[in-house]
Structure 1
């Protein structure tokens, strides 16, 4: 039995929410940590609530909270959060061709919801193509946004009545979430090289106390993956030429 447009849209909306559910639950400790940290750093309840609603970037939110609490100059806060969130610029470029023909309301909505998690869901070739896939992406990212705000609210309440939650190691949820996102996407040698180089260099640069360690490790890892891909392509071309000459 064929579905009407409205029924098909509802099905895709439900599917988007269900597919994102594991990640919505996985960031629960991370959200609680962000919310409680804001309260414990003397943010008002309104300020702590506005952070996840307007920023919607866990790592940037954590760092900004600490910098604001330490009375760091505004220019430093803006520059630091810009560097931390700069990968979202690359996400936007990667999805530009898929969204450039869509109305502004779709581009703005999905642009705001474009987290690491939503980008991982948008990697498939046919993603964001057509109205139904756009609805799927909207509800995938939207459910993650609502979950993130909800977990922060729980953290705000917990931070008001419980002792310092930052000592419980809840920040491991950050690493666990990214591991869950990265591992299924290691589908070829260049991607594997990129992941391994990024992991090794990020740890090495952190131990050396280098500034912008993650950014530098990410850039070098991307170059390593790119050159590996080029090397594999050249080897394939040489092999094909040899076979043609036989």
Structure 2
């Protein structure tokens, strides 16, 4: 009982919060080019400085944010943009389902905050459960959010002095970040095969001009990994 009492002190909660911050810091730095590009593209898309900053503060969507800006710049209809954003963010429903049991009993304010802060990066560091899990997640999520907003603001400011920032291929950080997220999860043959299938099909679909290539390839990759696991279990 004494241990539980000590563990519930604000100090231990603060430690869990700080652990979350430390855990996600490498991924924060990884999206620096990504954030710069988002801020710069917002200005190129015709947004004012306040609108561009407000988009990162309120939307906080990463890849979906970049895709939206790109579609706006080429005059894509609003309905197409909405559908595209929905498709590219569907994985967040799976993330929420994974975290539901741990978060469902938390106060509404915590659930709303984590719902807003939930990203691929936050999910990546959420796999390892620990004491005061909610504070750990909040620490990681808030840290990543503040870094994203800061990097986006830098991109907005750079847009005036360094035009066409998108020509510097800063979007490589998107691929690099997802590689950093995915690789630690490759711990068996099933996962490896699923990842390889997704990568190969993404390249093939892109070469064929198929829209939503990454999403389609990802779904097929997951199905492949699941089928392979079932076959191996039956053969065992």
TM-score (normalizing by structure 1): 0.89
Q: In the alignment, what sits opposite 1:31?
A: 35
> Partners of 2:102 and 2:191 in 1: how far apart?
22
Indicate conservation of the 8 Å contact 2:103/2:134, yes or no.
no
- C-alpha distance in 2 between matches for 1:136 and 1:3: 14
Give the structure 1 partner of residue 183 of structure 2.
183
User: How do 1:62-73 residues align onto structure 2 when only pairs under 5 Å count?
Assistant: 62-73=66-77
User: Which protein shows a greater Rg?
Assistant: 1
Residue pair 1:55, 1:61 contacting (<8 A) in 2 also: yes
Q: Classify 1:80/1:3 alpha carbon distance in 2 versus 1 (closer, same or farther; 3 Å).
A: closer
Distance 1:68 1:109 in 2: 28
CA–CA separation in structure 1 for the residues paired with 2:197 and 2:100: 27
- Assess if the C-alpha contact under 8 Å between 1:40 and 1:160 holds in 2: no
Structure 1: unaligned runs, 5 residues or longer: 237-246
Moved more, 52-61 or 173-182: 52-61
Distance in 2 (CA, whole Å) between partners of 1:4 and 1:108 is 22
Distance 2:235 2:102 in 1: 31
Matched-pair contact (CA < 8 Å) for 2:41–2:166: yes
User: Equivalent residue for 2:221?
Assistant: 221
The match for 1:22 among 19, 23, 26 is 26
What is the alpha-carbon distance in structure 1 between the residues aligned to residue 211 and residue 41 of structure 2? 24
Give structure 2 stretches of 5+ with no counterpart.
none
How far does residue 4 in structure 1 lie from its aligned partner after superposition? 6.5
1:123 CA displacement: 1.9
TM superposition shift of 1:155 = 0.2
SS of residue paired to 1:36: helix
TM-score of the pair, normalised by structure 2: 0.92
Map of 1:106 onto structure 2 = 110
Question: Matched residues in 2 for 1:85 and 1:226: separation?
Answer: 22
Task: Work out the number of aligned pairs and report it.
Answer: 232
CA RMSD after TM alignment? 1.7
